[in-house]
Structure 1
Amino acid sequence: MMNALTIQAKNSPELLERLLRVCRHRGFTLQNINAEVDNNQQITQINLTVCSERDISLLTKQIDKVVGVIGITLLQQPENIKASA
């Protein structure tokens, strides 16, 4: 199943690496990623689309523990996301 997440975190050089490591360790495949930093370079907003047969809560609980993460939001339920060919 595919899931879309929005993550807000403090901007740091190692943030993206940590998030990708958590996704890999939890068995989720990254389908899409988009990251933007706010105007004063302090907060990063990252949109991730991941795919796995595992429950998304296994990933969101671990991302929430990553140093610097402020919040995480599940954007869409799996039935609303369609894979493009």
Structure 2
Amino acid sequence: MRHSLELTMQQRPEVLERVLRVTRHRGFTVTQLQMRINEDASLSLDIMVDAERAIELLSNQLNKLIDVTQCRVIPAAASSHNVCAQ
């Protein structure tokens, strides 16, 4: 099952590595990734993952990362239309 997440993160060199490591350790496969720098110098990451596990298992862990300021699950109806913007 495919899931979409939108993350807002502090701009640091290691933040993407941490997010991807947690994603892999929780058993999710990244299928699509888009990152951009916001006006306030934070990073926005739109990530689509594939797994049979509940997306809350991943989103709860990502929220615990110190550099992640927000993690939002995009509802299935919105993600099927590729709407991942803020």
Gap runs ≥5 in structure 2: 82-86
- Structure 1 match to 2:38: 38
Q: Which residue number corresponds to residue 64 of structure 2?
A: 65
User: Aligned residues, how many?
Assistant: 81
Give the structure-1-normalised TM-score: 0.86
Equivalent residue number for residue 14 of structure 1:
14
Secondary structure of the corresponding residue to residue 13 of structure 2: coil
More helix by share: 2
Conserved? CA contact 1:8–1:70, under 8 Å: yes
Q: Distance in 2 between matches of 1:76 and 1:32?
A: 16
Structure exhibiting the larger radius of gyration computed from Cα positions = 1
Q: Which runs of 5+ in 1 are unaligned?
A: none
Query: Aligned-pair RMSD on alpha carbons?
Result: 1.9
Counterpart residue identity of residue 35, structure 1: M
